[in-house]
Every structure is written in structure tokens, then in C-alpha cells.
Amino acid sequence: MMTFLSRQPVRVPIYFLLLLMALSCTKNDNRVAAPQTILDRILEDSQFSLLRAAVAYAGVGDALKDGNLTLFAPTDSAFQAAGLGNLGALMAMSKEQVRTLILYHTLYGSVAAARIPSGQNAVETASKGIAFVNKSNDVTIYINNARLTQADLAVANGYIHKINRVLTPATGDLLTTIQSNANLTFLSAAVKRIGTSNPTLLATITNALSTNRVTAFAPNDDAFKADGRYTSLSAIESADAQTLANLLLYHVTSGVLFSSQLQTGTLSSLLNGNKFTVTVNQNQTTIKGNNNSDSATIKQADLPTSNGVLHIIDKVLKP
């Protein structure tokens, strides 16, 4: 006859159960999320949907999660104001252009708002371009013409500062920017005429511009045509080089003044300190030379260069 032994419950010591529970908790606690990087914050913040689309399109995500960085991040409304309100608009640019755009908003190094020195500071961006950070009253901070609307979003590899405009990358120095702009062919021809007729004079002007941070008010082609003296490129090509040099210098003032920094008053030009008048209204800013009957209007503002900023105007200024 077979007999079955009754199975008694196994009694586990209470200290052993507590040990298992402790080990289990330790295992779960080790599943800590990796520290959030600049890229991670962009991916999760609803205000950056267009920025993350640009990052993905340009393939620049890896550059935003390594090292110590500071990103001046345009919000969706900033992209929309710049005419980049959807993926199609972004993809109308080449991937390399968008990559340069994003890296122009990026600085190497972790910089909190409190560490930005007062006044204007020229900084080199991750795209190798120059941008200008201006801090006034220890409160208001601009980078080029964009204002910081929320500073110091701290992440593992640096800081994000939200800005209200998309920055335009600087493409060269002042003269290079003039020569590459399709609306400034007459002014570009004037620069060429100076160099062809008197290389020493052009070198003097170039040196004066490169050793100073400057603001230039550049007359567009229609402004030259309306002026009466230079109605065609051939007229400029035969003009006196010194006259053209004086004209160029009268449109330039020392110091970098983006539209947000322009104030009603007078500015001294590089032409022997001759002044012109700036009038800032709510909807437009005008510039008037000493011998102009009417004021010029800024038609396109805030084109950054490596040695300053360019504003395109619709009249030639007369000293």
C-alpha cells in the first residue's frame, strides 16, 4: 500500500524576504533616465516643434547632445515670423543651409544669462559665424536682433535660451555682404570702382571697417537710380573713386546697432564725423542725410556681418 506524505509549507525567514525586497528595489532604482540634453529638451517641448523639424531635416541632432553648449532656440512663433512655418518651407533650403542656420544659434560652452557681460559682446558660433550678444540693465538680452524671452533652461550639457526671432547667419564681412546681395549691385559696383581706380584707397576703407565694429545703411539699387547722379552701372564705373569712397563712408557709423538698438537722434558717420539723423517710429525707422530733402526708410534691417550689421535703405544719403 502506497502512502502519500503530506507536504508542509516552507517557512522562509522574515529577514530573507526583506533582503529580496531590498534587492528588488535596488534593481528598479538603477533604471534611472539618462540626463536630459539640449536635444532631448527640444524633442519634448511643444514650443520647439519647428526647431526639431529643422534639426531632423539637417541631421544635426548629434551635435546638440555632446559637449557643453548654449543654444539660443527660436520658438515656433519665431520660425513662423521668419516665413519658415512648416516643413515645406524648411525643405526649400538645402540641408547644409539649415545645418548652418541651427549651428549659428549655438555656442560652444555653457553660458547662463547671469554670466553674459553687460554691453555688447561679439561671439563665435558653432557655425564659425559671428553673432553679437547685447545685455542692458542686467536684464534685457539680445542676440543680434532677437530678444531672450526665457533664459536658463538648464540641461545636462548646457543651457537653452528661448528667443523670439530666427537669426540670419552672417556670411562674411561688410564689403563681402554688400557684394553678394542681389539688391546692392550699384553699391557693389561702387566698391569695385574704388578698388580698380585706387586700390590703396579701398585698402584704407577696408582697414577702417575691419578694425571697427560698424553699422552700415546700404542704399539699394532703386535708391541709386532715383538719386540722379548714378542712374546706371556705367555711371558708377566712370565715377571718381574718392567721391564714391566718401559716399560709402557717409553711410557707415561706428558701433553695431541692430534695429532694436536704434534710437531717435543723430549718428556720426565715418566720413570725418559728418552726421545723419535717425528717427524711430512704431512702424518704421528712417535715416536722413544733411542734404537730403526726404528721409530714407529701412527696407530690410539687421543683416549681420562679421564686423557689424547692415540695414538696406531706399535712398542715397547726402552729407
pLDDT at 27 over 80: no
Of 207 and 249, the one with more pLDDT:
249
CB-facing half-sphere around the CA of 276: CA atoms within 13 A:
30
264-291: average pLDDT: 95
Quote the percentage of the chain above a pLDDT of 90: 82
Confidence of residue 17 (pLDDT cuts 50, 70, 90): very low
Pick from 95, 84, 91, 103: nearest CA to 58: 95
**% helix / strand / coil in the chain, to the nearest 5?**
40, 25, 35
* pLDDT tens digits, 128-186: 999 999 999 878 999 999 999 999 999 999 999 999 999 999 989 999 999 999 999 99
- Cell triple for 219: 542704399
Q: Give Cα 32 to chain centroid, integer Å.
A: 36
What's the pLDDT at 1?
A: 35
Question: Which residue shows C-alpha cell 547632445?
Answer: 65
**What does DSSP assign to residue 1?**
-
* Domain residue spans of the chain: 38-163, 174-313
CATH of domain 174-313: 2.30.180.10
Please provide the distance, in angstroms rounded to a whole number, between the alpha carbons at the two ends of the chain. 126
CATH of domain 38-163: 2.30.180.10
Question: Which residue shows C-alpha cell 537722434?
Answer: 265
Residue 304, strand partner residues:
309
* pLDDT tens digits, 69-85: 999 999 999 999 999 99
CA distances from residue 141 to 116, 135, 282, 318 in whole angstroms, order as listed: 9, 4, 21, 34
What's the pLDDT at 35?
A: 78
* pLDDT tens digits, 99-133: 999 999 999 999 999 999 999 999 999 999 999 99
**pTM confidence score:** 0.84
Q: What is the mean pLDDT of the chain?
A: 89
What is the distance between the alpha carbons of residues 212 and 268, in angstroms, rounded to a whole number?
14
* Identical fold, 38-163 and 174-313: yes
What's the pLDDT at 137?
A: 84
271-287: average pLDDT: 95
Quote the percentage of the chain above a pLDDT of 70: 89
What's the pLDDT at 33?
A: 56
pLDDT at 219 over 60: yes
pLDDT at 21 over 50: no
